Amino acid sequence: MAGKNIGFVSTRFAGTDGVSLEAAKWSEILESGGHRCFWFAGDLDRDPQRSFVVPEAFFQYETNQIIDAAIFGSNRRSPQTTRAIHHLGARLKKRLYEFIDRFQIEMLVAQNVLTIPMHLPLGLAMTELIAESQIPTVAHHHDFYWERTRFSVNAVGDYLRMAFPPNLPNIEHVVINSAAQEELALRTGISSVVIPNVLDFENPPQYDEKDTHAFRQRIGLTAEDFLILQPTRIVQRKGIEHAIDLVHQLQDSHFKLMISHEAGDEGFEYAEWLTEHARERGVDLRLIGTRVPDAPDRPTLWELYAHSDFITYPSLYEGFGNAFIEAVYFKKPLLINRYAIFVRDIEPKGFDLIVMDGFLTKKNVQKVRDVLEQPALRERMTTHNYAVAARHYSYATLRRKLDNLMATFFGVNQTVS
């Protein structure tokens, strides 16, 4: 049977945020099964021939930011704000119908846009369109509004209950961890399927040792230096101060710490504090940033993983933990904090990791030193972890789950296998 035209919808499909990355993996699997994927967002870096860019759909669109400032942090909204929400939502719903018509969309995949109200009018527009058209929809939820303190005081409880997420018969809901599955059911009565974030473990990453040597030379590392990578955005919940303390306690100038992403998503104060924290402890901290279009000489995140010796991931909270699975994919040893979802969904799988429980111990520091200085130990650990991840977090897992979702809507012959 012919494949389906599938429309991905979000506020942004661009860069290296988790939603954009996971949406790209879903589309890769769906297209390998004969389906065709199209993109609707306010910020897009996908194939222009399959893209429908609507600037008003971007969460940083000026009108949306004005609405956002008016509805969060207060429990009362004005009639003017209500009118602004409905006006922008109506415009967006019209553009969504145009998107469906232009590309003959047969199924929608709502990527976090019905989950967290970064763009409340877009979520409302999507909900109304899905209810009106009865188009089959998969709502992929990455992090719910009740998981973020910034949304806890708000003037739009009526809209949140209606659309974040909506409880409609033509929507299949997907969450990325079991805690979210339970909380969604308790709060809304909505059932969901858990699909964890995945990587292509059937095809290990390929990179050239010569490139690694050249990169390390370019940033001033010697053959004796160890590059420790913190592959995250610079936001407080990432616990980056623990990575700095680790390097400090290693008490060796050959250990260098690099942060892959730039600051700005949640302000610059934390980045400034981290820089001072590292300076006070004599830690060589490098804020490199990943490649952007106007700075092609910067390394990509994938290149940083390839060129690093060790990964730090001391997050206080994660919805899943992309950096964890990426480190395992690149066969890098890592230090990880036991955040709640790790404890519940990942730790029981049997990975061999260096684990801290809210604070760094001398035992943690010594094990990091052992792993970095003993190649055989490092190889044994990383090979084991790769095998475990290949069983639980591979494209095969995603393909099987998407098969079931497609079968729900279109029958057993409309799968992605």
Over the stretch 326-356, which tens digit does the pLDDT of each residue have?
A: 999 999 999 999 999 999 999 999 999 999 9
Spatial neighbors of 306 by CB under 8 A, at least 6 apart, are 205, 207, 211, 212, 330
Cα distances (Å, whole numbers) of residue 43 to 9, 51, 58, 84:
11, 10, 6, 21
When mean pLDDT is compared across 12-16, 167-171, 388-392, the lowest value belongs to 12-16
Q: What is the pTM of this model?
A: 0.85
Cis peptide before 204 (omega within 30 of 0): no
Question: Of residues 70 and 223, which shows the higher confidence score?
Answer: 70
**What pLDDT does residue 151 have?**
95
**What pLDDT does residue 16 have?**
73
**What pLDDT does residue 289 have?**
60
One CATH from 3.40.50.2000, 3.30.2040.10, 3.40.50.300, 3.90.245.10 for 5-198+395-410: 3.40.50.2000
Confidence class for position 300, pLDDT limits 50, 70, 90: confident
Instruction: Check the CA dihedral 187-191-194-195 and report its sign.
Output: negative
Burial (CB count within 10 angstroms: exposed 0-12, middle 13-18, buried 19+), residue 16:
middle
Distance in angstroms (rounded) separating the CA atoms of residues 308 and 212: 8
- Taking residues 115-129, report their average pLDDT: 97
Q: Which residue has the tokens 């390998």?
A: 32
CATH 3.40.50.2000 domain range(s) in the chain: 5-198+395-410, 209-392
Residues 277 and 247: beta-carbon distance below 8 Å:
no
Confidence class for position 64, pLDDT limits 50, 70, 90: very high
> Does 293 have pLDDT greater than 50?
no
Q: What share of the chain is helix, strand, coil (3-state, %, to 5)?
A: 50, 15, 35
DSSP string of 205-236? ----HHHHHHHHHHTT--TT-EEEEE-S-S-G
- Taking residues 253-281, report their average pLDDT: 86
Distance in angstroms (rounded) separating the CA atoms of residues 30 and 35: 6
When mean pLDDT is compared across 135-144, 172-181, 257-266, the lowest value belongs to 257-266
Residues 66 and 50: beta-carbon distance below 8 Å:
no
- The CATH architecture annotation of domain 209-392 reads 3-Layer(aba) Sandwich (3.40)
> Does 299 have pLDDT greater than 80?
no
When mean pLDDT is compared across 65-74, 197-206, 262-271, the lowest value belongs to 262-271
3-state secondary structure of 252: coil
In the beta sheet, which residues pair with residue 111? 140
